Structure 1
Amino acid sequence: MTNTVAEINTSYYDQNVRRSGFSSTHRYLLEQIAPNTTVLELGPASGYMTKALAAKGCLVDAIELNAHDAAKAAPYCRKMIVGSVEDLENFSGLAASYDVILMADVLEHLRTPENVLQKVRQFMAPNGVALVSLPNIAYWKMRLELLRGRFEYADSGLLDRTHLRFFTLQTGKAMFTRAGFDIVRIAAPPPTTPRFGRFKERVKNAWPTLFSIQFIFHLRFNPDNPEPNKNIIFNRE
């Protein structure tokens, strides 16, 4: 039986989590979510983060495209909706509002992430936050590959075969601004590899757009803010 690209991608994530634990990005995201909060998780895959949230006492609702993955994640959810987040009708069965909306490694897989972002604004509690991780296509290795004339897709990573959209720090900020969000904070979690030790961290902190493989955006929606994203905090984790 031949696996689909989506199944190969999911299998990679499952195997990687079992082998190495959570990535630094996923650990950071989980640390930002307080216990006993309500969470809407878009694209939970097989539920490895969902399980950790449930262990913190969070009430999690989720929308997952892959039915096989959804069945794995469902035991840790209050409600699981099987379908695409780009089919906005799938949001109709959700609760009225959530403390946290989690989109970890999701938007790059969508054709029109702006539509989804505008939709999720309706489900944010008054003091709610959206946490979004985006891969950085301007990472130094990608720049080097382009200089070599190469842009080759793979089963995982920045050129994952299932990625439909690519973002830099600036294009990510522009997308969230267009969708009406205030960007409260941007974080660049540390790499998981120990190579080069503190030197690598110092280099990343000095040039985050070049040496950070991902960015995490903390977003809020304030329709009364006349100047969104005027003062953004950049955290170099």
Structure 2
Amino acid sequence: MDNNFTMQEKTLNYNYTVDPNSDTAAANVLRFVGKQKKVLEIGAGPGSILRVLQDINQCNITAIEIHPDYIEELKQFCSSVISADLNNPQWYKIFSEEQKFDVVVAADVLEHLYDPLRCLQNIKNLLNDSGYIVISLPHAGHAVISGCLWNGDFQYSESGLLDKNHIRFFGIKNIQKLIEDADLKIIDASFVVRSPDQTELADLWLSLPHGLKKELLSNPFACVYQVVLHVVPETYTGSPIKLTEIPVPSAQIIPFGIFNQTYVLTGLFRKVVRQVLSQNQKKKLQSYLRTWGVHV
């Protein structure tokens, strides 16, 4: 990322707590990485996932980050931190020919890059003979995004599906094509499911006509919030899988037309949070609640 883009990104708070036993994207990343691996995490940010990979998964981590403040934070607990711009097509050449990794992690990173395909192609050069890539991506085909488009109100926000620093957007088929275009294949995947009322755009969703909401939710991937992938070079043995053929876990959706206590309490809670807490307090609370799938 160039410096101007990164400085804007730093206004967001990418610190969050990772519960390894949850159904979040971060927890799925941990499971796909495995234990005691030599790992490269690109775009590591402040190290929310990296800390758990070291402490619980007992992995040896090298981190790539560009923002100086994040780099200093990472150096406090990660022995190998490298400053590099992932938008530079030659970024991978910071490593010698002998430096290879068991796993490269790109957790919620590719959507921030100008050329995510080129980045994936570069990553392949850093894998050892049995190495693989673990990727998480937000799903732009979520029903709540479709609702935003229908409403003519594409609400960029501080985090979530419409994080204001996202410059690339992926539907299920786009994700599949991105991987295949990079001469990679998906051998395992996990969908993080959130109903629209569980997202950061719940208020907009509640304002949509009931018939429209029912139609938008008829898409089998309507409640897929994030996609986590276990990816290998296409030359590896084993058959690839198609994302469109994977069953989607069901999401708990509040019945249409019922403005019940859950909605009322959620609305009141948001109002209190927004009016009473300071910006820093809100960020800390949001970070904690996101680990439980709650967005405020």
**1:210 is aligned with what amino acid?**
A
Which is further off, 35-44 or 145-154?
Answer: 145-154
**2:126 is aligned with what amino acid?**
F
Structure 1 residue 207 displacement after superposition: 5.4
Aligned position for 2:270: none
Contact 1:35 1:57 in 2 (8 A): yes
Q: Aligned pair 1:54/2:54, yes or no?
A: yes
Tell me, which stretches of 5 or more residues in structure 1 are unaligned? 196-205
Aligned position for 2:279: none
Structure 1 residue 77 displacement after superposition: 2.9
Q: Cα distance 1:174–1:69, how it changes in 2: closer, same or farther (>3 A)? A: same
Tell me, which stretches of 5 or more residues in structure 2 are unaligned? 1-5, 199-217, 250-296
Aligned mate of 2:128, from 119, 125, 130 = 125
**1:106 is aligned with what amino acid?**
V
Which is further off, 180-189 or 71-80?
Answer: 71-80
**1:213 is aligned with what amino acid?**
Y
Contact 2:92 2:126 in 1 (8 A): no
Q: Cα distance 1:228–1:118, how it changes in 2: closer, same or farther (>3 A)? A: farther
Contact 1:152 1:159 in 2 (8 A): yes
Q: Aligned pair 1:183/2:186, yes or no?
A: yes
Aligned mate of 1:102, from 101, 105, 118 = 105
- When normalised by structure 2's length, the TM-score is 0.66
Aligned position for 1:84: 85
- When normalised by structure 1's length, the TM-score is 0.81
Contact 1:61 1:78 in 2 (8 A): yes
Aligned position for 1:169: 172
Q: For 1:66-109, what per-residue CA distance to the aligned partner results, in whole angstroms no more than 9, with x for missing partners?
A: 11111111243342111211224432233621111100000000
**2:221 is aligned with what amino acid?**
T
Which is further off, 145-154 or 114-123?
Answer: 145-154
The 5-angstrom pairing of residues 186-201 of structure 1 reads 186-191=189-194
Contact 1:37 1:99 in 2 (8 A): yes
Aligned mate of 1:210, from 219, 222, 235 = 222
- Mapped to 1, the partners of 2:159 and 2:224 lie a distance apart of 17
**2:49 is aligned with what amino acid?**
M
- Percent identity (aligned): 22
Q: Aligned pair 1:44/2:47, yes or no?
A: no
**2:68 is aligned with what amino acid?**
A
Contact 1:181 1:219 in 2 (8 A): yes
Structure 1 residue 52 displacement after superposition: 1.0
- Mapped to 2, the partners of 1:231 and 1:155 lie a distance apart of 32
Alignment length, in residue pairs?
220
Q: Cα distance 1:92–1:77, how it changes in 2: closer, same or farther (>3 A)? A: farther
**1:222 is aligned with what amino acid?**
E
- Mapped to 2, the partners of 1:170 and 1:112 lie a distance apart of 17
Contact 1:103 1:131 in 2 (8 A): yes
Q: Cα distance 1:85–1:208, how it changes in 2: closer, same or farther (>3 A)? A: farther
The secondary structure found in structure 2 opposite 1:8 is coil
Q: Cα distance 1:144–1:45, how it changes in 2: closer, same or farther (>3 A)? A: same
Aligned position for 1:200: none
Structure 1 residue 230 displacement after superposition: 6.2
**1:110 is aligned with what amino acid?**
L
- Mapped to 1, the partners of 2:155 and 2:177 lie a distance apart of 26
Structure 1 residue 235 displacement after superposition: 6.3
Aligned position for 1:6: 9
Aligned position for 1:150: 153
Structure 1 residue 148 displacement after superposition: 1.1
Q: Cα distance 1:230–1:132, how it changes in 2: closer, same or farther (>3 A)? A: closer
Q: Cα distance 1:52–1:224, how it changes in 2: closer, same or farther (>3 A)? A: closer
Q: Cα distance 1:21–1:217, how it changes in 2: closer, same or farther (>3 A)? A: closer
- Mapped to 1, the partners of 2:70 and 2:63 lie a distance apart of 11
RMSD of aligned C-alpha atoms?
Answer: 2.9
- Mapped to 2, the partners of 1:85 and 1:175 lie a distance apart of 17
